[in-house]
Structure 1
Amino acid sequence: MPLPGRGLFVLTVFTGSFLLFLVQPMFARIALPALGGAPGVWTVAMLFYQAALLAGYVYAHLLTRRGGKWQPWVHFALFGAAALTLPIGMRDIGGYEAVGPTLWLLALLTVSIGPVFFLVAAQAPLMQSWFAAGERTHGQDPYFLYAASNAGSLAALAAYPLLIEPYFPVDVQRFGWSAGFLLLAALTFFASRGVHPEKRDALAAGAPIPRRRYVYWGALAAIPSGLMLSTTTFLTMDIVAVPLLWVIPLGLYLLSYIVAYAEGGAIFVRQARFIAPLLLLGVGSYAFLADGVLALLFAMAGLILLFYVALALHGELAATRPPPAQLTAYYLTISVGGMIGGLFPAVVAPSAFDWTYEYPILLIGAAALLPATPLLKWLAALWQGPRGRQAAWTLALVLLALSTVALGSSEGTPTWLRVGIGIGAVILIGMRLPFALAFTALLLSMGGWTTVVQSVTTGQRTRSFFGIYTVTTDRDQGVRRLEHGTTLHGLQSLEPGNRRTPLGYYSDTSGAGRVFAAAAADAKIGVVGLGVGSLSCYAKPAQDWTFYEIDPAIVRIARDESRFTYLSSCTPDARIVLGDARLSLARKDKPKYDLLAIDAFSSDAIPQHLMTIEAFQLYGQRLATDGVLMVHISNRFLNLEPVVSAITEELGWQARIMDDRPSEEGPSAGLTTRSIWVAMSPDASRIEALPEAQGWRPLERHNVSAWRDDFGSIVSVLRY
């Protein structure tokens, strides 16, 4: 049998990376229902993946340092041990209540896919090391295999949300991945043939690398990794936590690696070095101002910013890579940097900050590392020598001082001063630390100081695993609002006579308002999703109310009478059940409800596991014989009517939908908002009694399948 050559190594590396990045969105998708569909699931999962990747790189580094023919056999023995955990799947570990969502998810990932992920993670550096020591391939540059590795990763990220998740149930995905793992073991066996021990021993004896170079490599890897995760958090917080949106930032991140290490990639890296600092100033400077519609535009522009910053920094990584003798140490350092970069937004920031400060901090870090060149030659000459560097630092400090004007003004920094600070920052492009300081000044002048002051003095914001909540008071309109992400989550009038009046999505003209107001005097009522407790003020004295809420932070806000008084005024004795609503409703001791409302969306992100056929079957089990289920499907990005229509048809229930569009003029303008509610029941008479004159209509039928726990995609319901 011929000895392995270039093609077999490419196939082996590509296959390993494909499996590595296929299991990431796949298993996060499997685990998502257990944590209420929270955006934090992917962030924490990515932290685990980076830590496991680091462990795999450490193993590959130690294995290649030893030399000798026993290396493949150690690797194959571990392959066999890991194969005993197949097929991959979610293990029952318990302990969620004791340790909280972050540690529980990390433990779940470790037990469920840790062994196989560890082995596959080691493949890329190990195969490159074996390639450089192969009898047919010795002396060839192995770094092209890094591009093959990232190509496999990118292919998996594109394939999962577009070709695999929409068409294959989770069980098929699990067994298919497990078969791929066995194929990888076979490819690795054939690739190991002909690896020459003496050549491998020589490979292990490389010249030492200066410590500062390791630190530099780690920083270059950490910043793009952190930016990728913080960008993902924003997208999934405002739309939906699903693989389709997880993989866009990760795909751009990997694409930057592919371009940086590709033959001929240097020309694109040079372009990125020119474009990235301009994008930082033109896009990144709005990090504190992104709100409302601007937030979505900023998120889209932020993806472009992520790619060019990552390409510039990864290009510097590629340009400073060592000879093959230090290959595994180099990749190990990159992995350490990537994990540190992921640790910051996934664990440190949610505990330390009440706002997404990690994003502008990472942007400042990028500004400090960008290997940019001045825009004009005369600027390059201006900063040369000790006096030039001193002048650059002086200008940067002056700009930072000017940004503090916002602290003494109720209207913030004047526009002319922002423009001046921006021009000063442009002049400093190419001077890394002074440019980073000038960029910091621009960030602070454009809403940064205001945001920091709010965090320090007002206590308006609350951050949890499930999101960032902001309570604001509008004295002019006489209302207090709760916002989650960029979406209004609830509001209440400050006028004493109107404090019990439900507003927003829950006004008396909304679908929910009409059905709750008509509920029987002794009805048992359940509400999934507490919000600020608006619906509670439809309660009647003899009714029995239960709220289901996954986030303790929301419960604290709703019960805080200095913020909102719906609960304390209208249903002070209502039960509040903490935890994922679907798991709570599945317990046998739960009552039958005459009216059950599903309103658990946070921002515009939906917990998809609450919108599957299995979830609705559970809701049906918790309804009285003539009970009514209300489902809130208002969403800027997803048209959920086809999904609910398909579910009701499959269940054989009757349903009506109301799209309430309050007038934007008059005294109630801004107090009531558009809402889309679906009323459904197994008792047709209850639904047929809803008057068409109020705006109720049958659901439209679409060519969309009902979502299932192991099968569902948002592609067909995206609003374009």
Structure 2
Amino acid sequence: MLAPALTILLSSFLLFLVQPILAKQILPWFGGSAGVWTVCLVFFQLVLLLGYIYAHWLTRSRVGSRQFALHIALLLISCLTLPIIPGSFWKDAHGTEPALQVLGLLGATVGLPYFLLTSTAPLLQRWLSGLAASASEARSIYRLFALSNLGSLFGLLSYPFAIEPFATVRTQAWVWSCAYVLFVAFSISYAWRRRRVPELRHIDETGGTRSEEAPPSLGRYVYWIGCSALGATLLLAGTNQITQNVASIPLLWIVPLSIYLFSFVICFEGRSGRGWYERRFWVTPAMLATGAMAWALFADQGNLSLYVALPVFTIGLLLGCAVCHGELARSKPSANYLTHFYLSLATGGALGGILVGLVAPQVFDGYWEMPLAVLCLSGLGLWCCSEELGRGPRTSWAANLILAVVAATLILLLLGGLPSALDSYALPWTKIVQGNARWGCAALLLVSALLLQRYRFWRAVGLTALLCCLSFEWSYYHSLATGTEFSARNFYGTLRVTESHYAQRRIRQLIHGVIVHGSQIMNPVQRALPTTYYGESSGIGRTILSEHQTVGPLRIGSIGLGAGTLATYGRPGDLFRVYELNPAVLHIAESQFTYLGDSKARVESVLGDARLSLEHEIAQDAFDRPEQRFDVLSVDAFSGDAIPVHLLTSEAFVTYARVTKPDGVIAFHLSNRYLDLAPVVEQIARHSGFHAVLVADRPRGQDVSASDWVLVTRSTAFLRQPEIAAHSSRIVPRSGLPVWTDQFTNLFQILK
């Protein structure tokens, strides 16, 4: 079994290694949006389904030994598609839905190799089961499924820690392609040897030939597909929730995907292939975690502390995926129906991926898939509790329901989750869940749940979780609806416009996840005031005001629009030209804020990736004459979770310098809680013959925010101006930091 096990391990390693390699290659072509990663996952889930269909057909069809020859032929043909480097024509193929473009690009670049990689695990397991001498030995083949997920986990984690820091993007693609050729050699070798060996008939314990197991029922297929779909939905919805609404920490997406893969290993490996999942140990903690995730969605208006929200969602995701995949493991059929089982898993995974990655952005105006997934998980837990009780003495539904109502009411009182109409009836003692007291209450809930399970009131645990989820998620919906003036969602994420009243002022904010991308005081007298990171004391504010005094009418370019705050600096005769990736942002800036409409400058907007747009304009001779170039170019795209690194490379800087006047200023907005981006810009500027200084603004006003702007210019006269020199500082280089290029970037080297 060693040769096929190694082949499966290598195939699964390459499966998850190719995902970040390709995603990094194509991210610059789609604006560095986090939606690229989500659509990549959808593509890989769909191809996984096709690979499992192929494995099922190949082993079930009447082609006999010809199945080996067919598979070998496809493996050889797939080598003709290498290396996995996307064609340059995809770079300029914009104009349709970005998600469809990503799917087409991936299909043309890595479709056939990935298809064959996905088919390897079920195909080789089915071939191995035909050589098993007994039914128990055949069922142990499922342990290779855990091995394949372990290989996928190694592939995923190896990229950011062992591959990305040491190899360029092109080198990564070539090395992966060479490793794929090695995989093809292993697969052909095993298939060629396996074709000569006849299948064995399994012998049962009495020494007779084992009778055929009855085929799985339609209900069992539906259950497999449903559990798999829920697990995939939890993965993608949990990734969106953690990276968009909890913390905008780069590379945080690795955590939920690692948890998802690890849950398969837990459930399909250990105890001689039976896995470590047992309902009596996993379902109760999973139900408690489900209620905790529902509470975390609305607690503190969705702004729960990172140190509480991140553990709640990561632990909840682990327990939730363990229940989904544990239910799959405990209901797996005999090896005779192995490909049926894997095909159902792939169907559910593709269904969950399509719902979250493709359908949800078109149907919902917010991240509603996470609340729905939590509700479905509580329903699955209730089903598990009810079915488990069918194996022994039961407690009545009425008793379970009464206990659940009492427990849910108490929990909602303690956590402030009662509907607002009933909140006024809450007594003062219900506010005890503060600070360290919340951990005591959590321990009490856990003990109470275990006692209910001990006395066979399992259904009360499931019902309590379901009732709490319904109430918490109603509160979540109410908290989002309150104060939200407008919301929109598309391929690039979810945007909300909120309005609040403070000190007789109406303040409107544009929010993407947990990041504020602009705000405006809506009172007529004050609505022209620049706010947040763009105040007059900020680096960009000082630059524009200084240039107005020395240059006169300005040509101002802005990569990134936000609420359009910079337009308020416009004066008669100025040009304000903005490059914005997301069409929803432009619509919101024009309809929900007044900066663009009130600006005294002439405002122009260009939709699409800023770098590609500038390169296209350069090719059209739009910046040939110095007077056509920008006096000030603002690059403002680095405060969110998905850092568009293609806008921060030496090649990108060449483009910025080409569209800026010789004595112009390129201003990089680098306010970021987790990344130290200033040394990256300083090094690129120094290697290009420019000067770079940091303006770290820490204002005391309520309407302006702390900001870090790096000003890059050739003009020493500009840097000597008092309003710049007095508030700027030298950037300390980072030792060992290489110059970022399109072929090499590494976020780990600049983590704060």
Q: Normalising by structure 1, report the TM-score.
A: 0.89
Query: Secondary structure at the residue paired with 1:332?
Result: helix
* Counterpart for residue 594 of structure 2: 565
Give the corresponding residue for 2:86: 90
Do structure 1's residue 461 and structure 2's residue 487 form an aligned pair? yes
Are the structure 2 counterparts of residues 690 and 374 from structure 1 closer, same or farther at C-alpha, using a change threshold of 3 Å? farther
Q: Deviations over 1:568-604 (max 9, x none)?
A: 1114730010001011111224432111000124634
1:378-437 per-position Cα deviation (integer Å, ceiling 9, x unaligned)? 999996246556757877999999999625379898887799999799598788887666
Structural mapping, 1:103-122, within 5 Å: 103-122=100-119
Aligned residues: 705
SS in 2 for 1:546: strand
Matched, 1:31 2:22: no
CA–CA separation in structure 1 for the residues paired with 2:501 and 2:248: 33
User: How many Å apart are 1:308 and its aligned residue?
Assistant: 1.8
1:490 correspondence with 2:487: no
The worse-fitting range, judged by mean Cα deviation, of 284-293 and 634-643 is 284-293
Tell me, which stretches of 5 or more residues in structure 1 are unaligned?
A: 1-5
What displacement does 1:220 show? 1.5
- 1:313-712 superposed matches below 5 A: 313-370=324-381, 384-385=395-396, 387-388=398-399, 406-408=419-421, 438-446=464-472, 448-449=474-475, 451-452=477-478, 454-455=480-481, 459-477=485-503, 478=505, 479-519=507-547, 520-560=551-591, 563-571=592-600, 573-587=602-616, 588=618, 589=620, 590-591=622-623, 592-601=629-638, 603-663=640-700, 668-669=701-702, 671-689=703-721, 691=723, 694-703=726-735, 704-712=737-745
Report what 1:14 is aligned to. Answer: 9
1:285 aligns with 2:295: yes
Check if 1:55 corresponds to 2:50: yes
Q: Percent identity?
A: 32
More divergent stretch after superposition (205-214 vs 287-296): 287-296
Quote how far apart the aligned CAs of 1:93 are: 3.8
Q: How does 1:101-250 map to 2 (within 5 A)?
A: 101-134=98-131, 139-140=137-138, 141-192=140-191, 193-195=193-195, 198-199=198-199, 207-237=214-244, 244-250=251-257
Deviation at 1:459, TM superposition (A): 4.5
Does structure 1 retain, via aligned residues, the 8 Å contact 2:83–2:174?
A: yes
CA distance in 1, matches of 2:270, 2:32: 41
Distance in 1 (alpha carbons) for counterparts of 2:615 and 2:675: 27
Deviates more, 1:57-66 or 1:474-483: 474-483
Q: Specify the SS of the correspondent of 1:304.
A: helix
Cα offset, 1:185, TM superposition: 1.1
Contact 2:649 2:741 in 1 (8 A): yes
Give the secondary structure class of the aligned counterpart of 1:88. Answer: coil
For 1:605 and 1:658, the matched residues in 2 are separated by: 24
Contact preservation (8 Å) 1:374, 1:380: no
State the AA in 1 paired with 2:100: L
Note the C-alpha offset of 1:198: 4.7
- Give the aligned partner of residue 3 of structure 1: none
Name the amino acid aligned to 2:312: A
Distance 2:695 2:714 in 1: 18
Structure 1 window deviating more from structure 2 (380-389 vs 42-51): it is 380-389
Q: Which amino acid aligns with 2:500?
A: D
8 Å contact from structure 1 (residues 12, 188) kept in 2:
yes
For 2:600 and 2:169, locate their aligned partners in 1 and report how far apart those are by CA, in whole Å.
41
Task: Give the conservation status (yes or no) of the 8 Å contact 1:525–1:596.
Answer: yes
Q: Secondary structure at the match of 2:633?
A: strand
Letter in 1 for 2:341: Y
Looking at structure 1, the residues matched to 596 and 133 of structure 2 have their Cα atoms a distance apart, in angstroms, of: 74
| Inter-partner Cα distance in structure 1 for 2:457 and 2:50 | 36
Shift of 1:456: 9.7
Per the TM alignment, residue 228 of structure 1 is displaced from its structure 2 partner at its CA by 1.1
| Aligned partners of 1:131 and 1:195 also within 8 Å | no
Q: Is the 8 A contact 1:639 1:718 kept in 2?
A: yes
Structure 1 residues 446 and 414, CA, compared in 2 at 3 Å: closer, same or farther? farther
Residues 39, 237 of structure 1: 8 Å contact kept: no
The residue that corresponds to 2:206 in the other structure is none
Letter in 1 for 2:745: G
TM-score by length of 2: 0.86
The answer to which of 201-210 and 417-426 deviates more is: 417-426
- Report the more deviating stretch, 486-495 or 89-98: 89-98
Structure 1 residue 21: Cα displacement: 0.8
Structure 1 residue 451: Cα displacement: 2.2
CA RMSD of aligned residues (A): 3.5
Cα contact 1:690–1:696 (8 A) shared by 2: no
CA-CA distance at 1:506 after TM superposition: 0.6
1-structure distance, mates of 2:742, 2:212: 52
Asked if 1:79 is matched to 2:78, the reply is no
**Mapped contact 1:368–1:432 kept (Cα < 8 A):** no
Distance in 1 (CA, whole Å) between partners of 2:426 and 2:238 is 26
Other structure's SS at 1:655 match: strand
SS at match of 2:661: strand
The 8 Å contact of residues 485 and 499 in structure 2, kept in 1 or not, is answered as no
Counterpart residue type for residue 79 of structure 2: A
CA contact (8 A) 1:241 1:607 kept: no
**For residues 546-568 of structure 1, what are the alpha-carbon distances to aligned partners after superposition, in whole Å with 9 as ceiling and x for unaligned?**
001011111111101xx311111
Contact 1:512/1:677 (8 A) holds in 2: yes
